[in-house]
Structure 1
Amino acid sequence: MQITFLGTSSGVPTRSRNVSSVALRLPQRAEVWLFDCGEGTQHQILRSELKISQLSRIFITHLHGDHIFGLMGLLATCGLAGNTKRIDIYGPPKLDEYLRACGRYSSTHLAYNIQVHTVQPGVVYEDNEFTVTCERLEHRITTFGYRVAEKDRPGRFDVEKAKALAIPPGRIYGQLKRGETVTLLDGRTIHGADLCGLPEIGRKIAYCTDTIYCDGAVHLAQNADVLIHEATFSHQDAELAFQRLHSTSTMAAQVALAAQVKQLIMTHFSPRYAPGNVIELKDLLQEAQAIFPNTQMAYDFMTYEVPRRREAELAKTSGQNEMVNY
């Protein structure tokens, strides 16, 4: 699972930062999932190592322009490329109405299937590998945050050890891989857990923007490997954050701390913190790290590989985090 930040500015693009969009690359299934699609997102994809042809799902948080103005253009490009069969789009009420209006007034006809899903808090998508859930956030219009949870995998099956025990291959191997206990024809009882490595704990990613600090964000981020959270304003501009229902850097850090996440990556920065101004983005990073040390600041085309942790490693890391946080 690899995260690529395609746009990290809030409201308007700048010379170095485009507006909101984050891609999640799933190489094991040759898919790309997109979270928000601000104006110019398709240009950002072309400048990255991502492939538009692998785009299969798009999750929209809310209908403000800096999160959706690039959506229709991206969908049209996918259609002209001719290698897209279906894209599923998830988002708040009236997203389908918005896309229909864009297609009608621009006379855009897509040659592939688009399925728009209106989300409500809870599970919005699930297959045998992933579960995607959403929660309401607190912003000026209806807004949802998303959580992608990879399902746990059994540990690697030790074939050589099974052969050394003279266990006949075939259906029995499958049972043992699933951790089952099997009684062989010769009377021996074999426990699958003895032939498998430590379970691989599924990775978890939370995406929360736009919002002020809220319980929904904390719930989505609970024990996540990575929390991507907006940090539009500095703590010194908290009054603006409350007025516009956006987060400060310290609010993002407080969500990360309350949810006991492993890594916080802040995004969606106001252009007011450009280099040379009284407050700069480095100040926002320092504010957040004072509360939650494991904080990074995203930039356009930054990539982050979400590490996989086995059960024992996860327990060790959790213990280390508790020492740091408290």
Structure 2
Amino acid sequence: MELTFLGTGAGRPSRQRNVTSMALTLPPPRCSAWLFDCGEATQHQLMRTPIKMSRIEAVFITHLHGDHVNGLPGLLSSRSYHPGAGPLRLFGPAGIKAYLEAVFSATYSHLDYELIVTELAEGVIYEDDDYSVEAYPLQHRVPCWGYRVTEKDRPGALDAEKARSLGVPFGPLLGQLKNGRDVRLPDGRFVRSTDVTAPDRKGRIISILGDTVPCGTIARLAADADLLVHEATFQGDMAEKAAAYGHSTTLQAAEAARMAGAKRLYMTHFSSRYREEDMDRLVAEARTLFPEAYAGSDLLSVAVTRPGEQPDGSCWA
């Protein structure tokens, strides 16, 4: 599992940072990508990565400010030209459907795939066999949401040699044990799945927040997250200015990560007043409260691994 920052700037693009977007690559064998926000020129940024447009299966929009959504109509339209692009799910605040309908109508655009639009309500908004996604409102100048992606726990690896030593024959019984089910052997003996499998592999949690001032739902979204993405538009001593614009500071992002018990924090949505030479200072400031704080940068990819495990194999090699 890997998160790639496609844009880490606030408000408007600069020469160093595009506006907000990021892509979460799901591990093999699924090898699809979920996009979070889609500011202007997001599709151009994607062209600078190995991520295939046709493999984007869902887009999650935090709010309807232009720096988070103005790249969406173009990206959706371009996806029609990519072979193999199947249905795409789009999640976003109330109004996202009307926004797209207006743009597509005015530009005579047509999609050659099914677009499934869901306007957000609190709680679980998507679930399949491998993942669930929750959404909760944040506090910004317009309705804004944060997302919590939870990978479901997976059965531990089967110790086939041990299973054979217990008399388990090749065939369906091995598969049942691997999938966590206890079995009875032909001779009547009982073998438990836990006897021949490693402990379950704990699922990973990625929390991605939209623009926000400190608020109560952040703790719910970020609790025990393996990776928290939190905006840090301003440096720590600018809390008053940040609040006036509905944003957070580096110190507020770090405090949110600390209070939620997150493992790593990546800050993003930096004001254009900050240059690359300022990043070490901003990170150092955040680390006074949360040592595992980092600064996102455009086209940076961050692996999200389970404890003691290597990164998942590449989907795009």
TM-score bracket for this pair, using the shorter chain length: over 0.9
Partners of 1:183 and 1:52 lie apart in 2 by: 47
CA-to-aligned-CA distance 1:249-307 (integer Å, 9 cap, x gap): 0111111011101000101000112267xxx3332211110000001111000001101
Q: Which residue of 2 aligns with 1:4?
A: 4
For the residues of structure 2 that align with 1:94 and 1:119, how far apart are their CA atoms? 10
Structure (1/2) with the larger helix percentage: 1
Query: Which residue of structure 2 lines up, in the alignment, with residue 295 of structure 1?
Result: 293
How is 1:48-197 mapped onto 2 (pairs within 5 angstroms)? Answer: 48-197=49-198
Determine if contact 1:200/1:309 at 8 Å carries over to the other structure: no
By how many angstroms is 1:26 displaced? 1.3
- The Cα RMSD (Å) is 1.5
CA offset digits 1:48-74 (Å, max 9, x no partner):
121111111000000000000000000
Q: 2:267 corresponds to which residue?
A: 266
1:20 partnered with 2:51: no
Unaligned runs of 5+ in 1: 312-326
AA aligned opposite 2:25: R
Distance 1:225 1:104, change over 3 A: same
Partner residue of 1:320? none
Residue 37 (structure 1) aligns with:
38
Matched, 1:230 2:249: no
Question: How far did residue 308 of structure 1 move?
Answer: 1.7
Structure 1 residue 224 displacement after superposition: 0.6
Task: Render the CA deviation track for 1:108-139: whole Å, top value 9, x for unaligned.
Answer: 11121111101111011000000000110000
Counterpart position of 2:312: none
**Alpha-carbon shift at residue 155 of structure 1 (Å):** 0.4
Amino acid in the other structure paired with 1:285: V
Amino acid across the alignment from 2:117:
V
Structure 2 counterpart of 1:212, one-letter code: V
Structure 1, 201-210 or 172-181: larger mean CA deviation: 172-181
**Runs of 5+ consecutive residues of structure 2 not aligned to the other structure:** 310-317
Structure 1 residues 253-262 or 166-175, which shifts more?
166-175
Q: Is the 8 A contact 2:158 2:196 kept in 1?
A: yes
Aligned AA (1:289): R
Equivalent-residue separation in structure 2 for 1:273 and 1:218 (angstroms)? 27
Which digits, 9 at most, give the CA deviation of each residue in 1:71-120, with x for residues without a partner?
A: 00001111133432211100000100000001011111112111110111
Q: How many residues align?
A: 308
The answer for the alignment partner of 2:279 in structure 1 is 281
TM-score, normalization: structure 2? 0.94
Greater shift in the superposed pair: 22-31 or 126-135: 22-31
Query: Residue 82 and residue 192 in structure 1: after superposition, are their counterparts in 2 closer, same or farther (change >3 A)?
Result: closer
Q: Which residue of 2 aligns with 1:245?
A: 246
Could you say if the C-alpha distance between residues 140 and 191 of structure 1 is closer, same or farther in structure 2, counting changes exceeding 3 Å?
Answer: same
Higher relative contact order (CA 8 A, sep 6+): 2
CA contact (8 A) 1:182 1:191 kept: yes
Counterpart code for 1:186: D
The amino acid across from 2:59 in the alignment is I
Equivalents in 1 of 2:82, 2:190: separation in Å? 56
Once the two structures are TM-superposed, the CA of residue 175 in structure 1 deviates from its matched residue by: 2.7
State the distance in 2 between where 1:201 and 1:89 align: 27
Q: Distance in 1 between matches of 2:243 and 2:170?
A: 63
* 1:200 and 1:310 in contact (8 A); partners too: no
Contact kept, 8 Å, 1:25 with 1:32, in 2: the verdict is yes
Q: Are the counterparts in 1 of residues 54 and 86 from structure 2 also a CA contact under 8 Å?
A: no
TM-score (normalised: structure 1): 0.91
> Could you list the per-position Cα deviations for residues 17-71 of structure 1 after superposition, in whole angstroms to 9, with x for gaps in the alignment?
1000010011321211000000000000001121111111000000000000000
**Aligned mates of 1:63, 1:134 — CA distance in 2:** 15
- Kindly state the Cα deviation for residue 182 of structure 1 after the two structures are TM-superposed: 2.8
Q: 1:274 and 1:46 mapped to 2: Cα distance? A: 24
Q: Deviation at 1:310?
A: 6.8
